[in-house]
């Protein structure tokens, strides 16, 4: 009986997500905000509370985070990361300072305390590399000359996440300063060792994982990622970072092939993850936060725009390109929800979840739309000049 209701509920949710995805595709927007709304509708206080599948959804959500970060890591190889770090460290730092500030400021002004401030800083900081990559490709901006600047900022952000997530995990766990420092040191050491191993002995890892058989490859990559994620979690370094590092360590043709195999799996569990975040949030709690979320979204659109303009100008890009770089950086999505999810799970301020949900809803939906609407305008202005 239990299995029957579980299947009915899960099937209903996933089918509904599929329909929403089709709608998003037609409207040319990211499906992420729709998945979040679906989660809000199903969960506590929603129109359709779930009876039995919450437990499965919560485990599925954790798998979703691991797979999101693993596939993200697979996109990069260690060489690219090092080059990006060297060439764009200054732009990356400006990005960090300008965009972490609004979130941290809001949390402090509301009196949520320093722990929530660190979490909110992460929520406003990270651009969604998934949505931005899609915007770049949909609008034909991949060949544009400002695009390498945008991509290297995204790489910088992702690397920053590898340091930030362990710090956040430690702070949320309420460990003392000394224990926190140890955790961060372990995180740094782990990241360093993985990067070194990937640079020097990448071939050995590739050799172990590689297989002409897709099934074997899939099992080996997912197994390795989960294993490392689990060990990382045990060391308080955060499972997500472990999976991300596994992705970076694999490189070349192998990474490409593994990514292609993992994407369907990732799409399924990532959708479950967004729903899960929505489930945990009471839709009634979002309304009081809506104005604040919109204000925060507006401020951080401006700060991302400024970041893009600054970094692109440094790279010698003209006005129109600078504006495009800024706009491309606006979307927020998966990472921000991952961060907010960690904070909510650790029992942060009850309003943090709804604020983050509202904020990401606005920017995940509006970011790509802004790019689409503003593109002809920028071109027209550039023509006239």
Partner 1 sequence: MEIEQTALPGIGLKHEFTTHHGRRLAVVSHRGGRRDLVIYDRHDPDRACEAIQLNDEEADALVELLGAPRIVQRLNDLHREVEGLVSLQLPIEDGSPYVGRPMGDARVRTRTGASIVAIVRGGQVHASPAPDFRLDAGDVVVVVGSLESTSAVADILSGG
Least distance to partner 1 from the beta carbon of 363, Å?
A: 21
91 in Cβ contact with 307 (< 8 Å): yes
Closer by beta carbon to partner 1, 76 or else 335: 76
Compute the CA torsion angle 72, 77, 80, 85 (nearest 10 deg).
70
Measure the CA–CA gap between 100 and 123, rounded to whole angstroms.
Answer: 8
Nearer to partner 1, 129 or 336 (CB): 129
Smallest gap, in angstroms, from Cβ of residue 79 to partner 1?
Answer: 9
Closest CA to 354 of 31, 39, 14, 17: 39
Distances (CA, A) of 164 to 96, 99, 157, 172, 238: 11, 14, 10, 12, 10
Q: What's the rounded Cα separation, in Å, for the pair 262 and 258?
A: 6
Alpha-carbon distances of 256 from 74, 76, 209, rounded to whole Å: 7, 10, 13
Which residues does 338 contact at the CB level (< 8 Å), separation at least 6? 65, 68, 240, 273
CB-nearer residue toward partner 1: 66 or 81: 81
Residue number with CB closer to partner 1 (128 or 183):
128
Residue 5 vs 83, nearer CB to partner 1: 83
Binding residues for partner 1 (CB under 8 A) = 75-76, 80-81, 83-84, 129, 133, 140-148, 151-152, 154-155, 256, 317-318, 320-321, 324, 378-379, 382-383, 385
Nearest CA to 340 out of 120, 126, 129 is that of 120
Q: Please report which residue ranges of the chain form alpha helices under DSSP H.
A: 2-27, 32-42, 54-75, 78-109, 114-125, 129-138, 147-172, 177-209, 214-234, 239-249, 252-280, 283-314, 319-328, 334-345, 352-384
In whole angstroms, the minimum distance from the beta carbon of 160 to partner 1 comes to 14
Say how far apart CA 37 and CA 288 lie, in whole Å: 16
Instruction: Select 75 or 334, whichever has its Cβ closest to partner 1.
Output: 75
State which residue, 30 or 84, has the beta carbon closest to partner 1: 84
316 phi and psi, to 5 degrees? Answer: 80, 30
Smallest separation, CB 145 to partner 1 (Å)? 4
CB of 89 to partner 1, least distance (A): 15
Shortest Å, Cβ 193 to partner 1: 22
20 vs 85, beta carbon nearer partner 1? 85
- Residue 151 Cβ, how far from partner 1 at the closest point, in Å? 5
Least distance from partner 1 to the Cβ atom of residue 87, Å:
9
């Amino acid at each position: 009986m239990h299995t029957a209701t579980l299947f009915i509920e899960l099937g209903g949710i996933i089918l509904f997500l599929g329909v929403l995805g089709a709608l998003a595709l037609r409207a040319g927007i990211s499906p992420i905000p729709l998945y979040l709304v679906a989660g809000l509708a199903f969960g506590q206080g929603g129109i359709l509370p779930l009876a039995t599948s919450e437990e499965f959804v919560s485990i599925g959500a954790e798998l979703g985070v691991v797979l999101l970060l693993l596939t993200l890591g697979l996109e990069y190889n260690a060489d690219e990361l090092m080059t990006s770090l060297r060439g764009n460290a200054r732009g990356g730092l400006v990005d960090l300072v300008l965009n972490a500030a609004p979130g941290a400021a809001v949390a402090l002004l509301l009196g949520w305390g320093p722990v929530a401030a660190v979490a909110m800083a992460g929520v406003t900081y990270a651009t969604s590399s998934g949505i931005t990559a899609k915007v770049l490709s949909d609008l034909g901006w991949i060949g544009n000359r400002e695009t390498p600047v945008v991509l290297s900022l995204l790489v910088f952000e992702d690397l920053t996440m590898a340091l930030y997530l362990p710090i956040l995990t430690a702070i949320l766990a309420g460990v003392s300063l000394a224990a926190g420092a140890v955790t961060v040191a372990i995180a740094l050491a782990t990241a360093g060792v993985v990067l070194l191993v990937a640079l020097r002995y990448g071939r050995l890892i590739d050799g172990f994982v590689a297989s002409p058989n897709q099934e074997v490859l899939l099992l080996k990559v997912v197994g390795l990622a989960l294993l490392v994620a689990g060990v990382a979690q045990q060391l308080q370094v955060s499972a997500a970072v472990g999976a991300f590092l596994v992705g970076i360590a694999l490189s070349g043709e192998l990474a490409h092939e593994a990514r292609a195999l993992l994407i369907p799996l990732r799409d399924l569990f990532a959708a479950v993850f967004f729903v899960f975040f929505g489930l945990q949030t009471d839709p009634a709690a979002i309304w009081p936060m809506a104005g604040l979320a919109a204000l925060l979204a507006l401020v951080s659109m401006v700060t991302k725009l400024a970041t893009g303009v600054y970094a692109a100008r440094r790279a010698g890009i003209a006005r129109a390109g600078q504006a495009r770089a800024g706009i491309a950086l606006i979307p927020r999505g998966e990472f921000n929800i991952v961060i907010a999810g960690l904070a909510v799970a650790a029992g942060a301020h009850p309003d943090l979840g709804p604020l983050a949900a509202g904020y990401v809803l606005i920017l995940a939906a509006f970011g790509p739309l802004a790019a689409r609407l503003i593109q002809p305008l920028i071109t027209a202005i550039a023509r006239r000049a």
